[in-house]
Amino acid sequence: MLKQNLVHSHSMPSILSEPLRIPVITAALRAPGRFAIEALERCASTSTALLERAQQGAASGSVIVCEQQTAGRGRRGRGWLSAPGDSLTFSLLWRFPDGAPPPVGLSLAAGVAVARALDAMGAAGVGLKWPNDIVAGGAKLGGVLTENLMTGGRHAVVIGIGLNVRLPEDIAAAVDTPAGAIEAVMPFAPSRNLLLAALLDSLAGMLDEFMRGGFAVLREEWMARNVHADQRVAVFAEAAAPVEGRCAGVDADGALLLETERGVRRILSGEVSLKPLGPLGPQ
């Protein structure tokens, strides 16, 4: 079932700011029957809205995509800034079968799916920063936020993704980390409708793999894209001293492996932040 609540604007002529159109997205999907897409002109957060629908029984494969989020969420309670026509922000609900284990490492697996889709569309140099950033050329293109829930004794997850298709100067100036945009790493400006279709197809393929073998089957692919592989980094957590060491990758559960003077430490994703270290400390 397809549902569209989007009011189209005729003042956005470029392909970058084309309106989101469900028929175009659906026509580009390899398996449109796996998704039920709802497009909104404006909402607080696609993940918040989809979590509410999940509690009300929304089907696996439900998707909410929004032109403008007013309270988009990132990790550590941070907001996610987006601009109408310049960003792609959406969330996907996925329900796991009875008896499936908790989906640990899924946020990293979702990053692999995003990178695969961008590669297939011609993007260059897409990498991943633990635990959930999509990066290229040292700049953040977007991020992933997964939120788990239990309904009817079964695990489910809402995968929220925000990507900068184009980066307006006001947003670039408002964020505290180097930000980039997909248009800068692709040979042509991508259609947001076709980009969303490619991302959904890639996520569905990744989830099929994940349900068969967990993050372990995607670990090597994540490691190959790890932008901090073998670098000296620091991990910051609230109310705790930073932990420094060499980034030794991740384990089969998606936990960061940090090689320190006292041995290898296993750090679970969550309320933490990772930064590279130079000779003068955090950069």
Residues of the chain with CATH 2.30.30.100: 232-282
Handedness of CA 186, 190, 192, 197 (dihedral sign): negative
Q: Which fold has domain 232-282?
A: SH3 type barrels. (2.30.30)
CA 67: distance to chain centroid? 17
CA 132: distance to chain centroid? 6
Q: DSSP states of 70-97 as a string? A: SS-B-GGG-B----TTTEEEEEEEEEPP
Pairwise CA distance, residues 41 & 68, whole Å: 6
pLDDT (tens digit per residue) in 155-173: 999 999 999 998 865 555 5
Residues of the chain with CATH 3.30.930.10: 3-224
Pairwise CA distance, residues 114 & 125, whole Å: 13
pTM: predicted TM-score of the whole model, two decimal places: 0.87
pLDDT (tens digit per residue) in 187-246: 887 899 999 999 999 999 999 999 999 999 999 999 999 999 999 999 988 777 889 999
* pLDDT recorded at residue 223: 98
pLDDT reading at 146 higher than 50: yes
CATH superfamily ID and name for 3-224: Bira Bifunctional Protein; Domain 2 (3.30.930.10)
Closest CA to 276 of 107, 123, 141, 133: 133
Handedness of CA 189, 169, 25, 132 (dihedral sign): positive
